[in-house]
Structure 1
Amino acid sequence: MQIATIGALALYAFVMSITPGPNNMLLANAGLVFGFRSTIPQIVGIPTGVISQILLVAAGLSSLFAQFPSIQLALKVAGTFYLLWLALKLWKADALAQSPNATPISFSQALLFQFINPKSWLIALTAVSAFLQPEQAVVPQLLIICLAFALIGTPCMAVWSAMGSALRRHLSSPTSLRRANRTLAALASATCLMFWL
């Protein structure tokens, strides 16, 4: 893979990882409710899920999507309902944060969410189609693509959690915390629209 291609890949990984979307809204809220350290499994789970999708797309899953468009529709519907369910949990997060049963999203939950997150599928499909050169050895190229999303995506995820955690320190009253939680829950719900554009 040429240096110019690696540079373009790095820019793509940065833009897709840092811009608002379902993952980043959930991370900001988790940072707000649970603090930064508690969100580390979620931060690591997201790029791990994206990398898994990249490998699956490179292995031929993209042709299955092309042959059966209904699979993509099912993913959109499932992703929408799951995100709305999570947004409802976030809406109630001020009460949950004080409950002993309240837990942030785990590594495996974050990883599995990517499989119903249309933005993550878009990232994987675009990364493979745009940056994988068929005339070159596939495995080294896939390694570079996966490393780009691990090394660039993970810090981008951490930024969103850190922003939520920083906001937590400035919200001293239960009312202000509730407002912040509900604002982030509304933004997470609004990101469902991007599934259908």
Structure 2
Amino acid sequence: MDSVSIYLPGILLAYSAFLISIASPGPNVLAVIGTSMDVGRKSGMALALGVSCGSFCWAMFTVLGLSALLSTYAMALTAIKVGGGVYLLWLAYKSFKAARQKSDLTAKALEGGDRSPTGYFLRGLIIQMTNPKAALAWIAIISIGLTEGAPIWVGMAIVVGTSVLSVVIHLIYAISFSTPVMVHLYGKARRVIQLALGSFFAFAGIKLLSSRFSD
């Protein structure tokens, strides 16, 4: 029980980083919203599940890869956390910059014509798995929750928790944002969300960097 209390704060921070990272729609989420609006909720939900499956795969690859790396090179955790902290600060900068822009939320369905639900699922999976930024994002998220000497269950807890959040949030986007009214309302709140996103990433990045330099 004591071991759980030791690693729980890092796990919850990793959950928070992931949750807030998808609070501001990127290309994948906008594709889910646009597909729900233009094609239908069923297609949008299938695409959302595909994107979530891709997120799960990236999370698993990251945890297994970092665990293997750390078992061989213990000092690698410092480099990973520094890199993750710098990337989080970059995301904070991008979020603050986006908050200053006046452009509204633009959601469009995927090009290439209508597909079956299976087709949309596979398309979502492929889009997520071929996104190079996903790898950097997951390294940053996993590194927040991992501490030196952390057992494998810590990484698995992050994978399971973020996977559940991914499915739930993406499905909420597909169901709730299937009307132009919801997209309009979300667009009105975009700047506030981007500012909150930037503030959190700045906090997480500074915390990650300070934890390494204070060791």
Equivalent residue, structure 1, for 2:119: none
Residues 17 and 75 from structure 1, CA distance in 2 versus in 1: closer, same or farther, beyond 3 angstroms?
Answer: closer
Equivalent residue, structure 2, for 1:51: 60
Residues 60 and 51 from structure 1, CA distance in 2 versus in 1: closer, same or farther, beyond 3 angstroms?
Answer: same
Whole-angstrom CA distance in 2 between matches of 1:166 and 1:20: 22
Equivalent residue, structure 2, for 1:196: 206
Equivalent residue, structure 2, for 1:97: 107
- 1:1-197 to structure 2, matched below 5 A, reads 16=12, 19-21=15-17, 23-30=18-25, 33=30, 34-35=32-33, 37=45, 38-61=47-70, 63-65=74-76, 69=78, 72-82=81-91, 84-85=93-94, 94-98=104-108, 106-109=128-131, 111-117=134-140, 119-123=141-145, 125-126=146-147, 129-131=149-151, 149-165=158-174, 167-168=176-177, 172=181, 175-193=184-202, 194-197=204-207
Preserved CA contact (<8 Å) 1:41 1:107: no
CA RMSD of aligned residues (A): 4.4
| Unmatched 5+ stretches in structure 1 | 132-141
Provide the secondary structure at the position in 2 that maps to 1:97: coil
What do residues 5-46 of structure 1 show as CA deviations (whole Å, max 9, x unaligned)?
9xx59x95xx6388422x322323338743353443442333
Residue 116 of structure 1 deviates from its aligned partner by 4.8
Equivalent residue, structure 1, for 2:118: none
Preserved CA contact (<8 Å) 1:83 1:192: yes
| Unmatched 5+ stretches in structure 2 | 34-43, 112-123, 208-215
Whole-angstrom CA distance in 2 between matches of 1:63 and 1:51: 20
Residues 79 and 180 from structure 1, CA distance in 2 versus in 1: closer, same or farther, beyond 3 angstroms?
Answer: same
Whole-angstrom CA distance in 2 between matches of 1:63 and 1:108: 29
Query: Could you tell me the percent identity over the aligned residues?
Result: 11
Residue 65 of structure 1 deviates from its aligned partner by 2.8
What do residues 66-115 of structure 1 show as CA deviations (whole Å, max 9, x unaligned)?
5xx455333322332145436756867734324978xx972333641335
TM-score, normalised via structure 1 length:
0.59
TM-score, normalised via structure 2 length:
0.55
The number of equivalent residue pairs is: 174
Residues 164 and 29 from structure 1, CA distance in 2 versus in 1: closer, same or farther, beyond 3 angstroms?
Answer: farther
Query: Partner letter of residue 114 of structure 1?
Result: A
Whole-angstrom CA distance in 2 between matches of 1:145 and 1:77: 23
Residues 195 and 47 from structure 1, CA distance in 2 versus in 1: closer, same or farther, beyond 3 angstroms?
Answer: farther
